[in-house]
Chains A and B, each alone.
Chain A
Amino acid sequence: MSDTTPVIPDQPEVCRTVDAEERGVWRRVMDRFADHCRARSLFVLHYCTGCGAIELPPTITSRFDMERVGVSPMVTPRQADILLITGYLSVKTLKRVILSYEQMQSPKYVLGFGSCTINGGMYWNSYATVKRLDQYIPADGFIAGCMPRPEAVQQVFLDLMKKIDAGQANAWQDYYLNYDRYLGNQMALFGEEWHTPVDVIAEAEHYGYVGDGTRGRFTEILDRHAAYALRDAPEDYPERGANERLLP
């Protein structure tokens, strides 16, 4: 801890301007403390795809009792920390998964459950099933197997807790830093009209994770959708100005 303790210069404590470096140190200390607490109380979104859902009742209930380690199911994405993808994802399901994922509050963690989320599994040659989960949303970990047993599910939760505690479960930041790539992969499947209600770029700005890959040629298509949506908005509508130049 000694190397991260902030050095406060000798000056009055009121109206002091905190320089960027010092704020960065404080932030790191607070983040580490928050990660330490966060790892001990995790909610898994109660949303199951494919056949892996059948392994969750024994994992959650008295036989294996996930709540012993502080992991518990949660019914709404806005209150959940972990999105557990329990098996194969059809193209239609993937849309719902992305909508749920974007509604979750950061920091959020995605775990791929079963071989299907890694490389398509036994549906490797199906036209309707997505092969790689991590092309569409960033994942923190995978469990191989078809099916993984509840012991394996618990193991991945313990591994994730260790990663969070060490501040290494940062896949959610990648969604902001490389949003254009993820959006491009999504659009390749769903078509260019694909867009979600969540303004991911605004979130990236809020969290401070705007990178070179945040905006790109695919997010420009999103801006065009917004421009069309605002076409009939009143003249003084606040969001109108920035998007108006994109109209044909």
Chain B
Amino acid sequence: MKQAQVPAVLESVLHEIPGIQITPKEGSRVRVDVAPGALPAILELLKGQLGFMHLSAISCIDWPQTDEFELVYTVWSHEQKMTVSAHVTIPRDPGEYVSVYDIHTPAGFFERDIHEMFGVRFDGSPNLRKFILTSWNGPPPMLKSFDTLAYVEETFQWVDYRPEWLRDIEAKGGGIDSEGEGAPS
């Protein structure tokens, strides 16, 4: 497959940012890796000069191996017909970053969601109160270190499911395979 070229228009706008790495992906997608300090400037440049008005999403990835959070800011331009995903990594401790609410207003909701699910604090975000998990008192549940199954076992009870037809099968040596392939580990 032919290696895609970095779109010239993007290159011309972003080449002055130090330490930036632009990687073309399939179709109209471009991945941009930047240092945490440069991200608001890049979003500002993209919005102001190339019409990247639409912040599609901010997503967060927890990397326990390197003890980092990866934040992905996905923006779309109707003029360029192009998606840019800007990746930054921040250390898990203290897990703080700046809000881009002043550049893209919808960022407020994404930041509130990430704060709830991962515990990342966004400095300057308008509202980091509870969003979806209104009765939640535990640790942020999307962290890889959060043991979902242990929490479920502790919080909820199960129906003991042993119907008649299963007993008949078990009497003949069959039954539910709870150890073998496909069983929850």
Contact = CB atoms under 8 A, between A and B. Distances in A.
Interface of A: 91-92, 95, 118-120, 124-128, 130-132, 135, 188-191
Given A125-B148, A127-B152, A132 B158 contact: yes
A127 B135 contact: no
A191 B130 CA distance: 15
A131 B184 CA distance: 17
Contacts of A132: 156-159
Contact of A127 (B132, B134, B151): B151
A190 B152 contact: no
Interface string B121-141: 000000000001111111001
B149 A125 contact: yes
Contacts of B156: 120, 130-132
A151 to B, nearest CB: 20
B158 A127 contact: no
13 contacts: A91-B135, A92-B132, A119-B158, A124-B152, A125-B152, A126-B148, A127-B151, A127-B155, A128-B133, A128-B141, A131-B152, A132-B156, A191-B137
Contacts, number: 47
A85 B177 CA distance: 30
B184 A125 contact: yes
Interface residues of B, number: 20
Interface string B107-121: 000000000000000
A126 B136 CA distance: 14
A247 B151 CA distance: 35
Given A119-B158, A126-B152, A131-B156, 8 more contacts: A92-B135, A119-B159, A125-B149, A127-B155, A130-B156, A188-B155, A189-B135, A191-B137
Given A125-B149, A126-B152, A127-B148, A118 B135 contact: no
A131 B135 contact: no
Contacts of B133: 91-92, 128
A132 B157 CA distance: 7
Nearest to B146: A127
A135 B157 contact: yes
A121 B141 CA distance: 20
Contacts of A119: 158-159, 161
Interface in B142-185: 146, 148-149, 151-152, 155-159, 161, 184
A135 to B, nearest CB: 7
A63 B136 CA distance: 42
A90 B173 CA distance: 37
Given A126-B152, A127-B141, A190 B135 contact: yes
A189 B154 CA distance: 11
Contacts of A190: 135
A125 B149 CA distance: 6
Nearest to B161: A119
A8 to B, nearest CB: 48
Nearest to A94: B135
Contacts of B136: 91
A119 B152 CA distance: 12
Nearest to B148: A127
